């Protein structure tokens, strides 16, 4: 494996020196895309937020800025990312508004029905089975809670598909595939938006509010 492949493979689980380099670049490199995704949150005022696959922690900080009365629990699989996200949000952590912890999205160590909003920026490419992981997200969301996914790839762009071939475990998904997995995992209303000039996508899903709504398919 060449140095370039070793470096880009750090997007999956940053480790060691190359992982630190990757995480240091994530916050700035994905900022415009993340802000575009955040602009879709117009009808929710959450109190408890789960930021899943938090990377360098920049988006957890932006969520705290956007919702000044909210708390954020940021989770990442990589200890390198957890350390960086902790450093980035130290003031919010010290004020009691933010917690950063290591975790696996396929088996989240978070309580049932505790969050109003869950977010996943540029991370589901590496989740081990969308339906399984989305079901975990549904479990931790309150009834009516919202899950927002923001990806740089729409599952069809040539650049991302090239990286998919060289990064082990990476899978690019279309908005349609993501919405379908959300429905199967226990979400009701879903929607998606594609950036006008870039292959960026934002997908939103709302968890069933009631058992009656779920059985009625509403």
One of 3.10.580.10, 2.60.120.260, 3.40.50.150, 3.40.50.10420 is the CATH number of 3-216, namely 3.40.50.150
The enclosing H or E element of 74 equals strand 71-76
Q: What is the per-residue pLDDT for 9?
A: 42
The string of DSSP codes covering 103-170 is --GGG--S-TT-EEEEEEES-GGGSS-HHHHHHHHHHHEEEEEEEEEEES--S--HHHHHHHHHSTT-
Q: Looking at the chain, how many residues does it have?
A: 218
Three-state SS for 175? helix
Q: Token digits for 103?
A: 């975790």
* Residue 28 or residue 120, greater confidence: 120
Distance CA 66, CA 64 (A): 6
For 80-113, give one letter per residue: b (16+ CB within 10 A) or e.
bbbbbbbebbeebbeeebbebeebebeebebeee
Q: According to the model, what pLDDT value does residue 210 have?
A: 61
Nearest-angstrom CA–CA distance, 173 and 167: 15
CA distances from 204 to 20, 146, 155, 165 (A): 30, 7, 16, 27
- In angstroms, the CA 140 to CA 138 distance is 6
Q: How do residues 147-156 score in pLDDT, each as one tens digit?
A: 999 999 999 9
- pLDDT, mean over the chain: 87
CA angle 44, 52, 150 (to 5 degrees): 65
pLDDT tens digits for range 21-65: 556 566 666 799 999 999 999 989 999 999 999 999 999 999 999
Q: Distance between CA atoms of 70 and 65, rounded to whole angstroms?
A: 9
pLDDT, one tens digit per residue, over 175-197 is 999 999 999 999 989 999 999 99
Report pLDDT digits (tens) over 53-100. 999 999 999 999 999 999 999 999 999 999 999 999 999 999 999 999
Kindly list the domain boundaries of the chain, sorted by start residue.
3-216
Q: Three-state SS for 73?
A: strand
């Amino acid at each position: 494996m060449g140095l370039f492949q070793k470096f880009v493979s750090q997007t999956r689980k940053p480790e060691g020196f190359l992982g630190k380099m990757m995480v240091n670049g994530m916050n700035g490199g994905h900022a415009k895309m993340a802000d575009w995704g955040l602009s879709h949150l117009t009808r929710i005022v959450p109190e408890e937020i789960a930021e899943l696959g938090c990377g360098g922690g920049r988006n957890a900080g932006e969520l705290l800025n956007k919702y000044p009365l909210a708390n954020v629990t940021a989770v990442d699989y990589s200890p390198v990312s957890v350390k960086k996200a902790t450093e980035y949000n130290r003031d919010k952590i010290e004020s009691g508004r933010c917690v950063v912890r290591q975790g696996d999205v396929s088996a989240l160590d978070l309580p049932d029905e505790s969050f109003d909003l869950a977010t996943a920026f540029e991370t589901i490419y590496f989740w081990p089975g969308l339906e399984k992981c989305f079901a975990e997200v549904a479990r931790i969301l309150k009834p009516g809670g919202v899950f927002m996914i923001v990806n740089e790839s729409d599952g069809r762009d040539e650049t991302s598909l090239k990286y998919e071939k060289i990064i082990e475990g990476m899978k690019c998904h279309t908005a349609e595939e993501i919405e379908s997995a959300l429905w199967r995992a226990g979400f009701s209303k879903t929607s998606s938006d594609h950036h006008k000039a870039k292959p960026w996508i934002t997908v939103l899903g709302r968890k069933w509010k009631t058992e009656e709504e779920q059985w009625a398919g509403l």
